[in-house]
Amino acid sequence: MPTTAAPPGPKLSPLNQLIYRPGRNPLAFFTSLARTYGDVASYRIGGENVVFVNAPEHVRDILVTNNRFFVKGRGLQRSKRLLGEGLLTSEDPVHVQQRRLMQPAFHRERIAGYGDTMVAYANRLRQQWRDGTTMDIAQEMTRVTLSIAGKTLFDVDVESQAAEVGAALTAVMESFWLTMLPFADVLERLPVPQLRRARAARARLDEIIYTMIAERRKGARDRGDLLSMLLLAQAPPPLERSSSVELREAGPPSPGLRRASPPLPGMRPPSDRGAMTDRQVRDEAMTIFLAGHETTANALTWTWYLLSTAPDAEARLHDEIDRVLGGRLPTVADIGELQYVEKVVTESMRLYPPAWIIGRRSLVEYRIGDYVAPARSIFVMSPYVLQRDARYFPHPERFDPDRWTPEFKAALPPFAYFPFGGGPRRCIGESFAWMELVLVVSTLAQQWKLDLVAGHPVEPQPVVTLRTKHGMRMTAHRRVDDR
């Protein structure tokens, strides 16, 4: 019989309860929660009641079945400092309207047309490498994915700005845990070095995006890309509360449910029926531009690392690429034949999912398992933890692409593997990312073998995404000389 008692869980130190950070190693903290307390655990932190969920059926209920009872969690609300009211951070009905607006840019037919661009930029990158050169593969992957996102979605060549954008995004990411503090708004006004760097980085990213918007407005023609869709779109109406009975009874809305911020000086005035303001376009462009390339770059970086630790898997990957492509560059039509490449990428995102944590805030009291969590509780789900659960993945710490047989995938419970989230907030760019991962890996691995530098520290950095704390120093060895 369900009870109103809180799920079991640890009592954190007074300092951790204050600062909203679960210790120095959040990945170890959440893994320990699951192993110690089971599928549902709770704790108090930063003045919040947090429920950690580690069962596929509960994840499905939160993200899909009962998603109307939840809004975005604290992490993404804080991300509005950078992303504004974009697709990733906005709530319904604005989110629904914006997703419908952008969906055509991610339709399967449109994405297939992006394939040649993905391969072209990956090919350009591999031609710049030199045999025996050591480099930070994390930076290289950021450069290529940023270039791909800029060209395919905004028809802009940003390759020359990739290093600057990457450095700015790093500065923002490194301030993530500070921004989660209850008094972060006060800290923002103080000369804290980390936050000062983050503010300067956000300003530079804004400048890049607004310049892109201004240049495109001058042309005033539809290029068929995402930026054209945003500039020609009608602005969404002001945000309204849901009319459902459940939400009317849920009490005051979350702080995340609010109107968009007023436009900055010099921007177009807002209009309920006219074109989207520069601020609205900026928020959506920033979200897709940064969030899209950042997650893919991380997935590629971890893939190269894992391949360097598994010579047999690496050899099979190279053999498949050589057999299927026969020395030519890959195309979208080849993806169905590059099955082992897809397995490698799938397994890489199991072990190191770019979106390592997903949070939701409940609008109502919510029953989960044998417990009832109070309204406004934060529910935390971690693909990183659940995708390393031995109940669903035998030998979970082992990098084993061969586990992904059709039979294994059919038997796997829904949401035991969910690197792209789920439900109406599932990543809009999932198909784009899968295609990019397979094509970029195939293009680079066709010509190069990457070995981790001996002694290089490999440590995940769990911020908004799962980055590499020390980069990924690897040495490139030429496999095929087809220059």
Q: What is the CA angle 374-379-383, rounded to 5?
A: 165
Distance CA 263, CA 235 (A): 13
Strand pairing report for 48-53 and 378-381: parallel
Packing angle, helices 339-351 and 292-308, rounded to 10: 100
Least confident range from 60-64, 118-122, 205-209, 260-264: namely 260-264
State the pLDDT at residue 277.
84
pLDDT digits (tens, 9 = 90+) for 88-134: 667 778 788 778 878 887 877 778 889 999 999 999 999 999 999 99
Mean pLDDT, rounded, for 297-304: 98
Give the pLDDT band (50/70/90) at residue 4. low
State the pLDDT at residue 328.
97
**Strand pairing partners for 311?**
none
State the pLDDT at residue 61.
97
State the pLDDT at residue 428.
86
State the pLDDT at residue 259.
30
Q: Compare 179 and 166 and report the one with higher pLDDT.
A: 166
Give the pLDDT band (50/70/90) at residue 199. confident
Q: What is the CA angle 420-79-110, rounded to 5?
A: 45
Distance CA 158, CA 163 (A): 10
Cis peptide preceding 462, ω within 30 of 0: no
Mean pLDDT, rounded, for 406-415: 97
CA-based nearest residue to 292, from 430, 160, 109: 430
pLDDT at 191 over 60: yes
Least confident range from 145-154, 226-235, 306-315: namely 226-235
pLDDT digits (tens, 9 = 90+) for 393-405: 999 999 999 999 9
Task: Write out the E strands in 132-264.
Answer: 134-136
Structure tokens at 358: 């997903």
Q: Compare 259 and 431 and report the one with higher pLDDT.
A: 431
Q: Compare 153 and 349 and report the one with higher pLDDT.
A: 349
CA-based nearest residue to 127, from 447, 341, 441, 477: 447
Q: What is the DSSP string of 12-73?
A: --HHHHHHT--SS-HHHHHHHHHHHH-SEEEEEETTEEEEEE--HHHHHIIIIITGGGEEE-
**Strand pairing partners for 135?**
474
pLDDT at 459 over 80: yes
CB 298, CB 82: distance < 8 Å? no
Which amino acid appears at position 383 of this protein?
P
Structure tokens at 237: 């109406």
Give the pLDDT band (50/70/90) at residue 254. very low
CB 259, CB 235: distance < 8 Å? no
Tokens 């959040």 locate to 26
Tokens 């993945």 locate to 393
CA-based nearest residue to 301, from 172, 430, 131, 145: 145
State the pLDDT at residue 266.
31
Structural domain spans, the chain:
14-478
Distance CA 395, CA 400 (A): 9
* Homologous superfamily of the 14-478 domain (CATH): Cytochrome P450 (1.10.630.10)
State the pLDDT at residue 475.
98
State the pLDDT at residue 180.
58
State the pLDDT at residue 305.
98
What percent of the chain clears pLDDT 90, i.e. is strictly above it?
Answer: 51
Mean pLDDT, rounded, for 330-353: 98
Helix (H, G, I), strand (E, B), or coil: what is residue 251? coil
Question: Taking the CA of residue 465 as centre, how many other CA atoms within 13 Å lie in the half-sphere pointing to its CB?
Answer: 22
Structure tokens at 276: 């989207």
pLDDT digits (tens, 9 = 90+) for 221-239: 777 788 888 887 755 554 4
Distance CA 214, CA 77 (A): 27
CA-based nearest residue to 473, from 128, 135, 131, 125: 135
Q: What's the whole-number average pLDDT of the chain?
A: 83
Packing angle, helices 292-308 and 311-325, rounded to 10: 110
Distance CA 390, CA 386 (A): 9
Phi, psi (degrees; rounded to nearest 5) at 457 = -70, 130
CB 23, CB 33: distance < 8 Å? no
State the pLDDT at residue 171.
77
Which amino acid appears at position 342 of this protein?
E
State the pLDDT at residue 190.
64
State the pLDDT at residue 19.
58
State the pLDDT at residue 77.
62
State the pLDDT at residue 79.
63
Least confident range from 161-175, 179-193, 388-402: namely 179-193
pLDDT at 243 over 60: no
pLDDT at 257 over 50: no
Mean pLDDT, rounded, for 333-346: 98
